[in-house]
Structure 1
Amino acid sequence: MSAPAHQADSHWPHEPEKATLDGRNKVIGFWLFLGGEAVLFGTLFATFLALRDQIGDGPAASELFQLPMIAAVTAILLVSSLTSVFAVQALHRNDIKSLITWLIVTVGLGFCFLGFEIYEFVEYVHEGHTFTTSAFSTSFYTLVGFHGAHVAFGVVWISILIGQLFKKGLNLVTAPKVYVSAIYWHFIDVVWVFIFTVVYLMGKVG
């Protein structure tokens, strides 16, 4: 199935996501939503920092984390952030083929990230680090798992948008949807950078 051909339009706005009142409202509303998400993640980070030394009889972070693998996972998510930038650039050029291509790549990288995270959790459980092992483990799984759930939601959301682009094409209705999905993807990438630093790097060095 191929994407519908989109007529070259010399009047295609430079920022199509903000070309209509509805589009501008979507963008503003989404930024407000992300503000609430930032507060929520901030609370989870604060809880983790308060509980990270309460390991009970379970393994410590320095005994669990494998930084090379986590660094590779981080690289995957950072590259996906770059591909979402390319998708927005294609959106602004009214280039639906490139837009869909970069969105598909972004989704693929998101699936890779989720696969690594599931593998990581399974390994930790095998090593005796379960959700209820200690206060540290509970806060760890809550924070990292909550972020993983956001990645999974983003993958599903972008996949649905790809389907809409195939069906409806690129227009001033679909453009804001693509744009806010890219904002969301950047947000979860930034959150992961903080997780990598606060949870994994600080945990490994003690």
Structure 2
Amino acid sequence: MDAAPGVPQARRGERFHYSGVTEGKTVDEFPIEWPEPGAVAMAIATARSSDERLSITPMTRTRSRIRTHDSILDTWGFEGGPARRRTVLTADVTHLKVEGLGGRAEWSVQLVGPADLEELVDEREGTGDVVLAVRPETPVEVVVHANSGGWGLRFVCGCWAGDECACEQPKGLEWFPGSIYETGEAMATLVVPRPGLLVCDLREPTAPWRLRLRPIGSED
């Protein structure tokens, strides 16, 4: 079976790209290969469902630990065109679970390591979810301007420990939050203390965003 237009399918021998087509009620869980072992990875998830819900969920499944992570993509047949999302998987993810609740669905997940991500150097703008690398060795501020029914911007530390990050904040920046969450149009500033990733999640795929780097304390 072929995938619908807009849902990329993995080529034979292609690494870090998983795809398939489901029919009816199915649950398929499979191990994944990691682009950069020990680091996080950006997941580019795309799916189209003809009738019912399709979900893609990261899993941790080892001999000593099992964990179900938050779904990275849920799509329903009535939504029309393919659904897409960019987000970050933590280094403890070992499997992906694809669950179809009926009908026919096409899906794709591409994994990209931090070294291959585009970098926010000065200013960028776009629409929909985005994951960008930030590589300044000293703290900087990121000014974000976005407009969505619900959106957020968060910093992922380059130690790649995720929620278990124990890196010390630079002096004077101990109380600055590592994430921003807003509704509607808003402009806010996020302090980036060290190299890592910026993850901008927006509810609508056409929602606009603009990100700009500036020195700490600058009003420019």
Which range, TM-score by smaller chain?
under 0.3
Answer 1 or 2: which has greater helix percent.
1
- Greater Rg by CA: 1
Highest RCO, 1 vs 2 (Cα 8 Å, sep ≥ 6): 1
TM-score normalised by L of structure 2 = 0.19
Q: Which has the higher strand share?
A: 2
TM-score calculated relative to the size of structure 1:
0.20
